[in-house]
Amino acid sequence: MARVTKIPQMLNFFIYISITLCCFTSLASANVDLDEDNWTQILEGEWMVEFYAPWCPACSALGPAWRELSNRATTKKMAMRTAAVDVTKSPGLSGRFVVTALPTIFHVKDGEFRQYKGPRDADSMETYVERARWRQAEPLPSWKAPHSFQMGVVAHFFKLSQALRSVHTMLMDTYGLPTWGSYLIFAIATIFIGAFLGLILVCVIDLLYPPRRAERVAVTRAEAEQRLKPDRDTRHSDDEQELINDDLLDDADNLNDSDEEKNSPSDTSEDDKDKNKPAEGAGDSKAKQEVRKRRPRKAD
């Protein structure tokens, strides 16, 4: 009878042991949940990383295959480990990895990132890792690597956008603002923030590159007159040259008039006509002298 009573106790013991082993096995095979604080651990070793969202139907369909892959990696003691990222909790990581579709799977090997684009069943993903088929794909370039500086900046922008989305939801749900009211508040805040940042930028530029001021040189009156003297002399010489030119023109006009008077028909006429009309020739020459106009001279 004592042996019969010990049988249920032995069954209960085995049941408890089985449950404990299952719990430990499930914990060991569970994915590593990555976030903004612990994601850098995938830079060492070999990893398969899944990006998912709780509301994504395709992510729910991938769940059983992903858990199977994690269990196989544990039972076969593979060097590869699995991890998962909830993009609703870690939007910065989705921006850092430039995740545009869900679910997205990355293979990471010693800091080299490759996006897995094969079949999404446990056998295909296991073969991809064991037979090193990831070598056939080109890794992400250095400027696009998640641990680069520029992708870190992109991650901060994603986190900022998520924070603004949360504020927008709070304004509509908690305070009952309409959609256009929330947008108006964001627009006014953007204008003021942009003006403030522009002012800071101008101040920094003025501090680093101050504007050059024109240097004023003191000049005495005597030096100023001495500097202006060559200009005055030049103007005076130009005026004198113009006067000389005017005098030469006048002299040339007088010579031309005298030549015309000598060669006029009245001089080449017969002697009798010249003797009979001396007064008319004299009167014509005087008339020509009075009619002739001289060029006006410029005032000194």
- Which residues are known catalytic residues? 56, 59
CA distance 88 to 162: 9
The partner residues of 80 in beta bridges, in order of sequence, read: 46
Residue corresponding to tokens 């010489």: 237
From residue 280, alpha-carbon distances to 20, 226, 283, 284 in Å are 156, 62, 5, 6
Residues 20, 25, 26, 28: what is their CA dihedral angle, to the nearest 10 degrees? 130
CA dihedral sign, ordered 228, 233, 235, 236: positive
Is 94:85 a contact under the CB 8 Å cutoff?
yes
Displacement of CA 284 from its chain's centroid (Å): 91
